[in-house]
């Protein structure tokens, strides 16, 4: 024999190649609202393909895929949404991932991902919106209203579930008045005020983002508890009078020196005994998704995820003491520390 047999299986190559389709399938499922249709009684492949006027054979395979991905259960040809679909694919769920799945910024468009990866490895690529770097717009308070709204809805869709879990797990139980810095829609403040109806929160973000945040405060009927403060957290004075400052999915957008700058501003805004709380995905060198997300943040903002140890170090450098880690949802945690 002249041709040597392969020394290892090519299954991982196939897994990755076919895996390319997985998120795109979820996007299409959201576009077609498969979850809503099943819920509305179109609960066989036949009913779905008739309703949508789509290929029966195609729909059969597509449903099989969604079954493999954990979104649908099939018993005797009868389709049922799983908990995963009910929570994150149902348009009426508070945790609907629609804005992520519809991908308004083309962030996950596989057509340009290889170019994005290579460009960011050569020289720092940055996520752009209307031809401008999002990081620059944040740095210089130049975010336009439409981009701010789209980005804020997207962040809400992917972050609210963990924010609610973090608060309901007790990570914020000692705080009376919470400043949600770089609040976006106010995921943490909304969850906090819902869990503690006698307590209050302030949302602090750039003016165009605050317009969208107001919609969420109204939607969740939290006007009495939540005030909104428009401002640039790099240049403007921070609101005072809070005993807790939270950074939810904020530090991961910045390099370590900028993260220390932000933590120092939180330190200055807090009274002695006040708490800083970081709600974020933790970097974990042994897990693929946090490594991928860290690379994603590098590509979008030249930034990274921080590990628990790195967050403890940053907190220490900013003067905080007694760092602790609380569980949030999935890959997320809340890391807190006290201003001595
Ligand atoms: C990744 S989002 C996180 C939003 C929200 N905390 C959440 O967990 O969904 C980062 C937030 O930081 C805000 N931000 C960025 N630069 C800012 C600045 N200079 N001043 C105030 N907020 C800023 C952005 O507008 C955005 O809402």
pLDDT 10s digits, 125-134: 677 777 778 8
Q: Is the pLDDT reported for residue 257 higher than 80?
A: yes
Q: Measure Cα distances from 230 to 180, 238, 248, 288 in Å.
A: 12, 10, 17, 37
What is the pLDDT averaged over residues 222-247? Answer: 97
The domains located in the chain, with CATH, are: 11-93 (1.10.10.10), 110-338 (3.40.50.150)
pTM reported for the whole predicted model: 0.94
Question: 159: Cβ below 6 Å to ligand 1?
Answer: yes
pLDDT at 140: 87
C-alpha of residue 151 to centroid of ligand 1, in Å:
9
Question: 184: Cβ below 6 Å to ligand 1?
Answer: yes
What is the pLDDT averaged over residues 144-171? Answer: 94
C-alpha of residue 231 to centroid of ligand 1, in Å:
11
C-alpha of residue 250 to centroid of ligand 1, in Å:
6
Residue 245 · residue 270 · CB < 8 Å:
yes
Mutation to probe ligand 1, out of 142, 163, 206, 262 (largest number of atoms < 8 A from CB) = 206
Nearest CA residue ID for atom 23, ligand 1: 182
Pairing verdict, β 321-327 and 332-338 = antiparallel
Mutation to probe ligand 1, out of 182, 253, 278 (largest number of atoms < 8 A from CB) = 182
Mean pLDDT of the chain: 94
pLDDT at 125: 66
Summarize pLDDT for 147-159 with one digit per residue, the tens: 899 999 999 999 9
Residue 101 · residue 93 · CB < 8 Å:
no
pLDDT at 121: 86
């Amino acid at each position: 024999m002249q041709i040597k047999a392969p020394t290892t299986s090519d299954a991982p190559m196939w897994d990755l190649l076919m895996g390319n389709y997985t998120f795109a399938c979820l996007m299409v499922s959201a576009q077609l609202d498969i979850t809503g249709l099943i819920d509305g009684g179109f609960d066989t492949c036949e009913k779905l393909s008739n309703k949508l006027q789509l290929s029966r054979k195609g729909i059969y395979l597509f449903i099989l895929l969604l079954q493999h991905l954990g979104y649908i259960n099939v018993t005797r040809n009868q389709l049922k949404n799983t908990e995963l679909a009910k929570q994150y694919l149902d348009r009426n769920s508070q945790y609907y991932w629609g804005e992520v799945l519809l991908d308004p910024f083309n962030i996950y468009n596989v057509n340009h991902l290889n170019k994005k990866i290579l460009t960011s490895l050569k020289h720092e690529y940055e996520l752009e919106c209307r031809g401008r770097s999002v990081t620059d717009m944040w740095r210089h308070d130049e975010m336009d209203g439409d981009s701010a709204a789209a980005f804020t809805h997207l962040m809400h869709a992917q972050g609210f579930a963990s924010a609610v879990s973090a608060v309901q797990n007790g990570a914020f139980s000692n705080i009376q008045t919470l400043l949600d810095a770089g609040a976006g829609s106010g995921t943490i403040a909304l969850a906090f005020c819902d869990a503690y109806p006698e307590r209050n929160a302030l949302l602090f973000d750039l003016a165009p983002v605050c317009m969208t945040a107001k919609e969420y405060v109204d939607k969740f009927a939290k006007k009495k508890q939540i005030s909104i403060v428009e401002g640039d957290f790099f240049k403007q004075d921070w609101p005072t009078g809070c005993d807790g400052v939270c950074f939810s999915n904020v530090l991961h957008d910045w390099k370590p020196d900028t993260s220390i700058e932000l933590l120092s501003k939180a330190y200055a805004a807090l009274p002695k005994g006040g708490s800083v709380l970081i709600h974020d995905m933790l970097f974990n060198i042994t897990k693929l998704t946090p490594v991928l997300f860290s690379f994603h943040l590098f590509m979008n903002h030249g930034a990274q995820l921080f590990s628990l140890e790195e967050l403890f170090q940053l907190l220490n450098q900013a003067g905080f003491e007694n760092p602790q880690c609380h569980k949030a949802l999935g890959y997320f945690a809340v890391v807190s520390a006290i201003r001595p």
